[in-house]
Amino acid sequence: MSHPTTSRAFFDRIYLQDADPWRFASSEYELGRYEVTMQALSTRRYRHAFEPGCSIGVLTERLATICECVDAIDISSTAVRQASLRCSRLSNVTIRQGALPTDIPAGTFDLLVLSEIGYYFDSAQLRSLIDDLVGRMSSGSVFLAVHWLGSSPDHILSGSKVHEVISSAETLTQDLGENHTEFLLGRWVCK
């Protein structure tokens, strides 16, 4: 049975109450997290990126500057509408309503950005999801994860535990790990 905080209804309710409930477009924490994320990715250009849990598209918009194609999904149709508006001028971005693990885009990608969503899965689900995602990536592709170090009643795992589970994947080699005051950033390369 799925945790109630992983349902579409849960997230739609949050976004209907507040268009930017986590202040993705304005908080110092979020904007700083995006800056660090982009610094960790800016060493190259990417052919096809996948960003699950894109929310209102603030990071998606930035990823479009370093990627030929960005596929992004969010479980909340309300968030997807906002993200689509934000990125409407970007011809290399596709945003649609969907959830992991069922709505992974077709084809392969050379960049996966797992930002602030890993803690909505239990360890076994996350491990299975990582295996599925990495199975759609070629050798040398980048798997980047960024997760908050705080705790929330709607999280199943801590941010630290999410990164521990990712690090345990035999098909990934970590080449960057940063422990910031409020979040962890990890970058892995597919073997």
State residue 15's pLDDT score.
72
Q: Check residue 140 and give its pLDDT.
A: 96
Going from the C-alpha of 41 to that of each of 57, 105, 121, 174, 175, the distances in angstroms are 17, 21, 25, 14, 12
pTM: 0.89
pLDDT value for 4: 58
CATH 3.30.300.30 applies to domain 4-190: no
Distance CA 18, CA 85 (A): 16
Domain ranges of the chain: 4-190
From 27, 82, 38, select the one nearest 57 (Cα to Cα).
Answer: 82
Identify the pLDDT of residue 66.
Answer: 98
Span 61-112, pLDDT tens digits: 999 999 999 999 999 999 999 999 999 999 999 999 999 999 999 999 999 9
Nearest-angstrom CA–CA distance, 99 and 161 = 21
In this prediction, residue 30 carries a pLDDT of 87
pLDDT along the chain (191 residues), means of 10: 59 75 77 95 95 96 98 94 96 96 94 96 96 95 97 93 97 97 97 94
By DSSP bridging, strand 111-115 and strand 67-74 are unpaired
